[in-house]
Structure 1
């Protein structure tokens, strides 16, 4: 059980260690500028605005650490407490960032190229964990609108899951620091590679709740995704 009587420190890890291949870029997509501002900076600015957030650790490609630090200074993102190098997989990158944060805290993980994070995601995730001591984490996401098919290695449909039970996970994903640290340590020991942060916490016994996000809370991955900025 976890006490909800006192506020505890709230940190964010922002994953900005991607590449730009699917965007047709020769540089990481998080540096793509929209209206004069890199996408990941837009994400950082929204997190920084929240008064509960104590600090932010950005994880990026090792060769861009200095550049990311300079961008944070230029755009006056003052809650960034460190910028660390990423690893081979996203999971390795988050592990590197986690080493900079205390276990006795609440830790949110956010995609750097998911710039439509809303204030309520940050606020409500923290509040839900404080109010519901049975939960170890909270994931923002939305019900799946399309019918999903499970296929085999030959591309043949083998199952059609009930859509009512399907939930498309987004970020932020917010956890109690102790279990997030422990889950990442166990995953490293067991060579387990999860699909997101929640999958690690789930595997190692954590209970994770959900909060409705928005269908516009997309991860910028392909050139078509940029059309959302013109809405």
Structure 2
């Protein structure tokens, strides 16, 4: 089985909205629904778990029914922090998934992900045991010393990670069990990939693109509105 764990447990405080950013509506539909639909419509996805901010679990159940998201089999309450939500999602699937099943971590506010990114992430994970979509930076990079920069960073030596990050279920359960045992959970930025770096794990890279990013700011909302309009226009031209 290939099962996305869609992480929608955060409150999105940086957006300054009156609701968690994944529930902000674009043309009458919450961002989270757009994200879920990507996986709902992908032929290689068997079932979906959503880790949801506790205050919106009932609302999410209503959305699942309204938009016929029948691949959503589990809705799990989120935790206090990002890693707590990831752990909740993993633990809810223990005893359900087998060791060789694949889980795909996807941010609930990442509705730009494309079918080919998901397909390639699964392919690499099947071969290597884990994968992360990644791209090279197209921008000039420099160090950050507050109000100035004094060192150039070679952009050919860095990559930009995004989602869905994929793992064989046995791999990710062992990863988090070890991280909890060694007290690593709170020592890194809130990403599974940053935890892997701390623990000396290799991350295998799959296909990414510049459009596959998480909505974080109000400007990102405007970009997504344009993206939705473009996709709807393309669909109308094909019909």
Place the TM-score, normalised by the shorter chain, in its bin: 0.7 to 0.9
SS of the residue corresponding to residue 163 of structure 2 reads: strand
In the alignment, is the contact (CA less than 8 A) between 1:179 and 1:206 conserved in 2?
A: no
Provide the C-alpha distance between the structure 1 equivalents of 2:198 and 2:16, rounded to a whole number of angstroms. Answer: 35
TM superposition shift of 1:129: 2.5
Q: Does 1:141 align with 2:134?
A: yes
SS in 2 for 1:78: coil
3-state DSSP class of the match of 1:175? strand
Measured after TM superposition, the shift of residue 80 of structure 1 is: 1.0
Q: Which runs of 5+ in 2 are unaligned?
A: 228-239
Q: What is the number of equivalent residue pairs in this alignment?
A: 219
Which of 215, 219, 222 is equivalent to 1:224? 219
1 or 2, which has the higher strand percentage? Answer: 1
Q: 2:123 aligns with which of 122, 127, 131?
A: 127
TM-score (norm. length: structure 1)? 0.87
Asked if residue 185 in structure 1 is aligned to residue 177 in structure 2, the reply is yes
Would you tell me which structure has more helix in proportion to its own residues? 2
TM-score by length of 2: 0.84
**1:10, distance to aligned residue in structure 2 (A):** 0.9
Q: CA deviation at 1:156?
A: 6.4
Structure 2 counterpart SS, 1:208: coil
Residue 18 of structure 2 corresponds to 26
What is the aligned counterpart of 1:118 among 114, 118, 122?
Answer: 114
Alignment of structure 1 residues 172-211 onto 2, 5 Å: 172-192=164-184, 193=186, 194-195=188-189, 196-211=191-206
Contact 2:124 2:205 in 1 (8 A): no
Deviates further, 113-122 or 45-54:
45-54
Structure 1: any 5+ residue segments left out of the alignment? 1-8
In structure 1, distance between residues paired with 2:5 and 2:80: 17
